[in-house]
Structures are given as C-alpha cells and as structure tokens.
Structure 1
Amino acid sequence: MSDFMLPDIGEGIVECEVVEWRVAEGDVIEEDQPVVEVMTDKALVEITAPEAGRVTRLYVPRGEIAKVHEPLFAYEAEGQAPAETPAAKPVAARADAAGGESRAPSAASTSREAASSAVPSKDFILPDVGEGIVECEVVEWRVAEGDAIEEDQPVVDVMTDKAMVEITAPEAGTISRLHVPRGEIARVHAPLFAYVPAQAEEAEAGPPATPERPPERVAPTAAAPVATGGRGPYGRIPASPAVRRLLREHGLALEAVPGSGKDGRVLKEDVLRVLEEGAPEPGRPEAAQPPVTRAAGRQEPPGGDVRVEPLRGVRAVMARRMVEAATTIPHFQYGEEIDVTELLALRERLKPVAEARGTRLTLMPFFMKAMALAVREEPLLNARLNDDVSEIHYLPSVNVGMAVDSRSGLIVPNVKGVEQRSLLGVASEIQRLTGDAREGRVAQEDLKGGTISISNIGALGGTYAAPIINAPEVAIVAIGRSQWLPRFDARGEVVSRAIMTVTWAGDHRIIDGGTIARFCNAWKGYLEAPETMLLHLG
C-alpha cells in the first residue's frame, strides 16, 4: 500500500480544502484518472492518480483541510500485493545495492524476512529536497532489500541539480523494497523505498529473539585486499558522498583505500594519496566491464570507443538554463583591460593578515567589493526585470555570484550583502562557498538570490570569454588571467604592468553601451587604485 502525498499546488500554498472526492474507498483507478478536487486560496485544482491501482483509504473527508506534503489518500498499485515484502524474492545470496557486494543471508535474516512477510510494509515518500526540485538521481544505495535499518541511518545518496543529499531512515525496521535503482531518476513525493517498521515486526513475531550480530559483508572478488581501517555503526566503511563519487570516477573500490579518519572513515586525502602512489585500480570500468549504461538502460557493446553517459543533475540544468538565457535575452558584450599591478601588491601585503585569521585572500573579494561600490553609481546593473518585462526592480542588496567548476558541474553560489561586509568577511564567505561547492554540498540558500555574477575563467588560464547571463540577473563579467605586459607610463617610458582582461555581458533590453561602460569604468577605478575603496567603506 502506498500513500499519495499532496504535492505542491502553487507557490506559497501549504494547505487546501477538499471540495469533492471523485472516488470512494475500494474503487479501482487508472493512471491520470481524476481522484479529488481541492480548493486553494487561488484556484480549484484537480488531483489525478499517479498510477493504476485500487483506492484503500481517503485520509481527508470532504470539506476538511488537507496539508501539502501530507498523505491525501492511500492506494494499492496494480499488481501490488497487499503487503510487499522480501518474501516475494527467493532467499538467496543478494547483490548489495550499494556496491555490488554479494552476501548470503543468515538464519536470523531469513527468519526476519519470513516474519516480515506477514507485516504490511510502508512506503517512504521522497520529500522535498530543495526549492523547485521535482526529481533527483539515485547515486548510491547504502542498504539492500532485507537489511535492518535504524532511525536516522543513512539509506541513500541522491543528486539534485544543485547538490548531493543524504536521505536517512525515518524509523527502525527492515528494508523490503528499493523502488528506484541506482543511476535512475526518483521523483519528489513518489515512493523511494519500502520498509517494515520494527514495532510492527516485533508485534507480529511475538517476544523478540536475541539479537544477532549482523553478517559481515564480503568484499568483491575483483577488489584489492581490504583495508583494515574499520567499519561504521552500520557495518559499512564510513565515507562521505563526495568521496564515494570520487572513488567511482577513478574506478576505485572503497575497500581498497585505507581510511585515516575516525572509525576508518575514508577521506578525500586518502583517495588522492592512493591515486598519486599508483595503486592498482581493479574496479576501473574500462578493465572490468567495458559496457556503459545508457539512460534507457541499454549498454554499449564491449570494445566500443564511444563512452556515453546521461546528461543529468547540475549539467542538465545548466544546459537548459543556458539555452533559455541565450535564446531569450539579447546579450550586449563589452570588453576592457584593467591594470591590476597595485591590486596585486596590496593583496600580497594583506595576505599574511588574512591567513593569521584563517582566511585565504584571493583577488575575488576585491572584485566583489569594488562591484558593490560601483553599483551605487549604476544601480541598473543590480536590477532585474519582472516576468512580463514591464517593470525594473532595483534590488536593495548586492549578492555577487561566482561560477564554480565543481565535480558535478557548473554552479553559481553567491555572497549575500557584499556592500555590508568587510573585505575579510567577503573573503571568508568565498572560502566557505568554494569548499562547499567542491564537495557538492552547497546549501539551497547559497544558490538563491544572486543579483550579479562573476566568472573567473582566468583561474584556469583563459584570457577572453563571452559569458552568458545567469537569468534573472541582467549582467555578468568574465575575468581573464592577468599577464605582465609592456605599457607606457606617464613619462612615455616602457614599464611592465599586470594587465587583466574582462568581458561584460549585459541584458540589452535595459542595459545599453553607455550604462555598462560607466559601470565598468567605476569598477575599474576601484581595482586600479584599490586604496580609494577605503573612502567608501561604512
């Protein structure tokens, strides 16, 4: 039996009134069949069946209030037994859903499964994992069907278009079914896995038996000798989702990397050390299993030269947003050279002070602070258009986004309220956001509310770039690398100066050449004579 959770039915709406049920308990339903009409404070909404089956319970009577993300009705999917349990599967050695490890069930697990076969399982409904996110990719299952789980135990890692999210168990029990295979797409408000609660198992089985130690997992036969670093509280080698992703990218088995953290936790440094020392990589897909899984579940024939992977997560969202921005916003490009000789010298003098406070001082805090000051002179660069392009909204705070090339793709976290922060405060926020982005764990709040963006392509060696606006912002700048080039000084003599190229892109619907030139000149002035920023710091 599955609970249908009332989905988001409008921005800011948290509840609605049940106006009319179109079905009754016991009725057979088809996919997309109208089930109930609800009234929000804005409109009448028709809720349809997610799949074919039979309605078993209506939770909210007609005329009562239903809450968003809470159960609205229950149903049994077509072909679904009243209680889905592990007993439907042969009791034999199973492949671990988290990593392909095989293990034979013990007598305790067999009896546990037999006991749970008579107990109804509960579906865990994937909750909201971020504003506006409706689906995510299952990166790694931490458990297999038949496993015992504890409350708050990590069950599965999922990747949204913004970050990696760890889903934990709502209560203790036994996993009865994994609804979404690894690498496939899970839908928000749809069943993710099913489990039998521990209390229900105990009630069905009678007096609890003496608990047995869970069986040790057997390492894959193709893996190198297992490291003796230790196991976590659930019989697994502890490692963060980012570390597990790094292992997959390099074809390394988790068991082959000695962990130096607490309880044998494998850290990123441990993986990098193994890679640098040239340790064998027996888990590499090219050597062990050349076929490549496609989005539709097909595989490349062995020996093929083409590597295919689905476009998902952050990269898929970036693709959609860039196409939308490039095709709906008329871009105006503007280039300039900035002499950052004095800025580089100032940074060198301030670096020891910042490092003494645990902060790494790059040029980015100066870029952001100067940008916030320039916005005072040309506030149009920190504005946005409304949806029907009839109004310009001037934003009160300068939230500067910075493009970060993370392992999962390009993301743009932003530093909030740059105009109110000190230079050291901006540098500290940049350091925090960059670290989170590298690990794929940027908070949703850090990705929302940006007003203007910087793409520091020069950090990778580029000199020029034509950036695409990060809608709904109206401007973005690409910063090229600094080069020591010959220039004439005031006396006409050739001197060596640090020259940095920048390229602006503006929304030509509201920004013209004069506006962006004046803004860039003000920004350039603060960067070429950085001490002048002191005159404007409140």
Structure 2
Amino acid sequence: MTLQTIKMPDIGEGIAEVELVAWHVKVGDVIAEDQILADVMTDKATVEIPSHVAGTVVSLNAMVGQVVAVGTEIIHINSAAAIVIPAQAATIIEAPTQPEQVPEVPEKQPERSASPLPAAPAPAVSGSGVGLCSSHPIAAPAVRRLAWECGVDLSQVLATGPAGRITQADVQDYATKHSTFDSCLRNEDGRYKAMEAQETIQVIGLRRKIAQKMQEAKRHIPHFTYVEEIDVTELEELRSRLNAQYGASRGRLTLLPFLMRAMVLAVRDHPEVNARYDDDANQLTRFSAVHLGIATQTSGGLMVPVIRHAETLDLWGSAAAVLRVSEAARSGRATREDLSGSTLTLTSLGALGGIVSTPVINYPEVAIVGTNRIVERPMIKSGLVTVRKMMNLSSSFDHRVVDGMQAAEFIQQIRGTLECPGTLLV
C-alpha cells in the first residue's frame, strides 16, 4: 500500500482555518486525479478541495461542520489501488429486452342491484318532513361540514328539518348511533392531530456564517432604526416610461437602481453613513467611494455581494450591476472578493417587504437602508384626497457614530430625490 496524505491547503489571504461543509467521497471510493474531494468555507466563499493523486480513499479525518486548520491531514488515499480502465475495454451493456406486455382485461364485475330505499313517511302536521334523504340531501354548508368531519353519509341520515332538511342534530344523532361521534369529536381526519415529531439540524456552512455575523452585529452595534414614508407615484410613472422607451435596448429598471442612485447622491452630503467602525482601534474610517452591498437571498441563505464604486454608475449601469452580483451569489459563483469590502448596504424584500422592518447592520459598517413594499393609499395632496403609491424606508444606524439627526437628514435627502425622480437623470 502506498499511502498518500492530503492536507488542508493554504487558500491564501491569510486564512488560518476553514469549515468543512461537504464531503464528495467516502471510504472505499476509487477516485481520479483532480477529482473534487470536499467543499470548505472561508468567511463567506466556498472553495473546492481537489485530489492531487488517484487511488482509493482509506480514511476521512474530519467531519462535516468541523473547523479545520490549514495543514491538517484531512484524507488518506491508497495510490497503489488506482484503477485505470482503458477505453477499448469499455463495453456497453444493453438493458434486457422486456417481454411485450399484453394489457389485462379486467373481469367484468357483477352489477350491484340497488337496494330500494324505504318510502318516506307522510309529512307531519307541523310541516317537518321526516325520512331518509334522496341522492341529493338537503343540508346547510355547516351541516355538510359536520357530516364530513364525522364521516357520515348524508344520504343515510334521517332528516327531521323543515322540507326534508338535515339538521346538525340529525347528523349527531346518526353519528352517535353508528359509533362515529367519538371520532368526530376527536377530529381523526388528521387536521387537528397532535404532532410529536422533532428534527435536529446541524447549523453548518453558510448558515453558520450568517449566524456568526448576525450575533457579531447585534453584540457590537447599538442599533437604532428610522422609518420614513415616501411617495413614489412619480417615480413609478417615470420608471414605466423609461422601461417602455429603453427597456428593450438598455435593460429594464427595477426600483433598486433609483434607490442606489439616490443613496450615492445623499452620501456626498452625509459621509458619516458611508463608513466602517473599528471597535478595537476606536476608529471610524469614512470612504469617498461607495462600495454598495446588495443583500441577496440565495438557496443557502442571505449573502451580501458588493457593487464597487456605485458612484460611477447611472441608472442602467446600476441595474446591470445588481443583476450581475445577485446572479453570481445565487449561482454560487461569487468569490471572496465579491462578498467583502462593502461600505454601505441596501436590502429589499420586494413585494414581501411588509410595512416596517428593522434591518441588521452589516458589521462593521454603520448603516443599512431597507425598502418595504409599495402600497396604494389615500393621501391628501393640494387639499384633495387622492390615491398615491407609498413606500416606507426602514433604515438602521450605529448610534455610536451616527446621531439621530444625521440619520434623519440622510433619509430625508433620499426621500426628496425619490419624490422628484427627474433629478436622477440630470
């Protein structure tokens, strides 16, 4: 046996340890050179670990979810057991021919003879019909519901209500006599069944990184949230016109490019929000460049890819950048560089945005701007009640370095720009 050891490689950028999030091989597998053995995760990016030898897997020395230091032995491979199959030795095995299936003709079942129903008694003097119902029993929706819950066939119930109607008492009486009332009370149809199962899920990979980042942000940053409503009626009209005129040639615009541009313009007058705070050094670093993080929901969880130098982009450039970074994050193609270095973050849940939210700041940044959904509401404009499209901005700030007045002025400037959207095209 020629035993080869594969150690956790140095991924670079000063990374000392990684988390093992998936094995792609198991003990006994025959692997080829350069075959992917495992996936590991750094701060945010997932990295594949290939094999530099061919052979048979002898042992896996780390478990999924384990944090592994660079240089740790993670897998042993017997390179002497490598098997090479020459191309000419490959054979094609045809699936055995299945005998032709002759469709079976089901035996004719004897017809059931319908048992005659007893004749309904003559109506009582009070006007109430008493008797078994026809194939179309007369019953209110609530009575039909009760019968369904109790497993009662209404056509077998003796009706005592007016004009041959079945009452709830009729259903309960039938269910009691036929031993179905207890099951009716217990609701054995399963909709109200007590559930005892539980599931334990190991929090690993991206989910663990998200948990760590959220804990870090809430532990270090004294958040405060500022909410303001914005009239986006003119903005939506402008967006519709621009998409009709330029959508085919330059791409369609969503709300985010307008908000991005408004944020960039507001940052010029409020540099305190485009910053990072170093807790250890007690230093606030302000940036002239706006590296905007775009909170993006992926199948694995929340990621924040970064649009660098957002201040250099117009509306269509911003739209293309949002599409590019969000698709990279969702497809798993985002690199460590794509997911780091933001100075300010924008988050949006679109139509699911609710009325108000309290977004968590992307530590160590000091501000995050969040959008809520657009709703039509009656508003007073020029003394008249009119329907307007309204949207709330819910934004959070680090109260250590951003005062309430500064946050309010920043958001009010964004509001003013969005309510006069023509200025975004100047």
**Distance in 1 between residues matched to 2:412 and 2:69, nearest whole Å:** 47
Where does residue 494 of structure 1 map in the other structure? 385
Q: Are the aligned partners of 2:37 and 2:49 in contact in 1 as well (CA < 8 Å)?
A: yes
Matched, 1:529 2:420: yes
The match for 2:56 is 175
Query: CA separation in 2, counterparts of 1:168 and 1:507?
Result: 42
Q: Is 1:429 matched with 2:321? A: yes
The reply to whether residue 512 of structure 1 matches residue 403 of structure 2 is yes
1:419 to 311, 324, 327: 311
1:455 aligns with 2:338: no
2:21 corresponds to which residue? 138
Q: Counterpart in 1 of 2:214?
A: 322
Deviations 1:211-250 (A, max 9, x none): 7757999xxxxxxxxxxxxxxxxxxxxxxxxxxxxxxxxx
Deviations 1:250-291 (A, max 9, x none): xxxxxxxxxxxxxxxxxxxxxxxxxxxxxxxxxxxxxxxxxx
Pairwise CA distance, 1:467: 1.4
Deviations 1:292-313 (A, max 9, x none): xxxxxxxxxxx96101101122
2:27 & 2:92 partners in 1: Cα distance? Answer: 14
Amino acid at match of 2:20: E
1:370 aligns with 2:262: yes
Aligned to 1:166: 48
The answer to whether the 8 Å contact 1:331/1:507 transfers is yes
CA deviations over 1:344-363 (Å, ceiling 9, x no partner):
11222222566435744211
Change in Cα spacing, 1:214 to 1:387, as seen in structure 2 (3 Å) is farther
The Cα of 1:506 is off from its aligned counterpart by 1.0
Give the letter for the 1:505 counterpart.
Answer: S
- Cα distance in 2 for partners of 1:458, 1:407 equals 17
Equivalent residues in 2 for 1:336-415, closer than 5 Å: 336-352=228-244, 355-357=247-249, 359-388=251-280, 390-415=282-307
Query: CA deviation digits over 1:514-538, x for unaligned, max 9?
Result: 1111111111111111111233xxx
| Cα shift readout 1:403-428 (whole Å, capped 9, x = no counterpart) | 11211111111211110122212111
Q: Which amino acid aligns with 2:6?
A: D
Secondary structure of the structure 2 residue equivalent to 1:187: strand
Bigger mean CA deviation after superposition, 188-197 or 393-402: 188-197
CA distance in 2, matches of 1:196, 1:434: 42
Largest Rg, 1 or 2: 2
Q: How does 1:251-330 map to 2 (within 5 A)?
A: 305-330=197-222
| Secondary structure in structure 1 of the residue aligned to 2:265 | helix
Which ranges of structure 1 fall in alignment gaps of 5 or more residues?
Answer: 1-116, 218-302
Counterpart CA distance in 1 for 2:56 and 2:246 is 50
Higher relative contact order (CA 8 A, sep 6+): 2
Q: Deviations over 1:84-130 (max 9, x none)?
A: xxxxxxxxxxxxxxxxxxxxxxxxxxxxxxxxx2x242324344287
Aligned residues, how many?
A: 324
Q: Which moved more, 1:393-402 or 1:436-445?
A: 436-445
C-alpha distance in 2 between matches for 1:400 and 1:364: 12
Q: Alignment partner for residue 187 of structure 1, among 68, 81, 91? A: 68
Paired with 2:285 and 2:413, the residues of 1 have a C-alpha distance of 22
* Separation in structure 2 between the aligned mates of residue 462 and residue 214 of structure 1, nearest angstrom: 60
Tell me the distance in 2 between the aligned counterparts of 1:415 and 1:376.
17
Give the stretch that moved more between structures: 404-413 or 160-169: 160-169
Structure-2 separation of matches of 1:528 and 1:184 = 48
* 1:70-85 equivalent positions in 2, closer than 5 A: none
Inter-CA distance 352–178: structure 2 relative to 1 (3 Å threshold) = farther
TM-score calculated relative to the size of structure 1: 0.55
Per-residue CA shift, 1:55-103, capped at 9, x if unaligned? Answer: xxxxxxxxxxxxxxxxxxxxxxxxxxxxxxxxxxxxxxxxxxxxxxxxx
Aligned ranges 1:464-503 → 2 under 5 Å: 464-490=356-382, 492-503=383-394
Match for residue 30 of structure 2 among 147, 162, 175:
147
Distance 1:516 1:532 in 2: 22
1: CA distance between counterparts of 2:35 and 2:3? 21
User: Could you tell me which amino acid in structure 2 is paired with residue 169 of structure 1?
Assistant: S
Tell me if the contact between 1:137 and 1:160 (Cα under 8 Å) persists in the aligned partners: no
Per-residue deviation at 1:338? 0.7
Instruction: Give the Å deviation of 1:133.
Output: 7.1
Decide whether the 8 Å contact of 2:305 with 2:340 is kept in 1. Answer: yes
Distance between the aligned counterparts of 2:42 and 2:280, measured in 1?
29
Residue aligned with 2:334, SS: coil
Partners of 2:291 and 2:284 in 1: CA distance: 17
1:128 paired to 2:20? no
* 1:179–1:191 contact (8 Å) kept in structure 2: no
> In the superposition, relative to structure 1, how do residues 413 and 215 fare at CA in structure 2: closer, same or farther (>3 Å)?
farther
Q: Which amino acid aligns with 1:440?
A: G
Partner Cα distance (1:162, 1:532) in 2: 37
Any idea what the Cα deviations from partners look like across 1:369-412, whole Å, max 9, x if unmatched?
11011000111111222334543321121111121121111111
The CA distance in 2 between the partners of 1:374 and 1:336, in whole Å, is 15
Rounded Cα–Cα distance in structure 2 between residues aligned with 1:214 and 1:323: 55
Displacement of 1:158 in angstroms is: 4.0
Q: Please give the residue correspondences for 1:15-30 in structure 2 after superposition, counting only pairs within 5 Å.
A: none
SS in 1 for 2:356: coil
Q: TM-score, normalised by structure 2?
A: 0.68
In structure 2, do the counterparts of structure 1 residues 136 and 434 end up closer, same or farther at CA, with 3 Å as the change threshold? same
- Which segments of 5 or more consecutive residues in structure 2 lack a partner in the other structure? 94-194
SS class of match (2:56):
strand
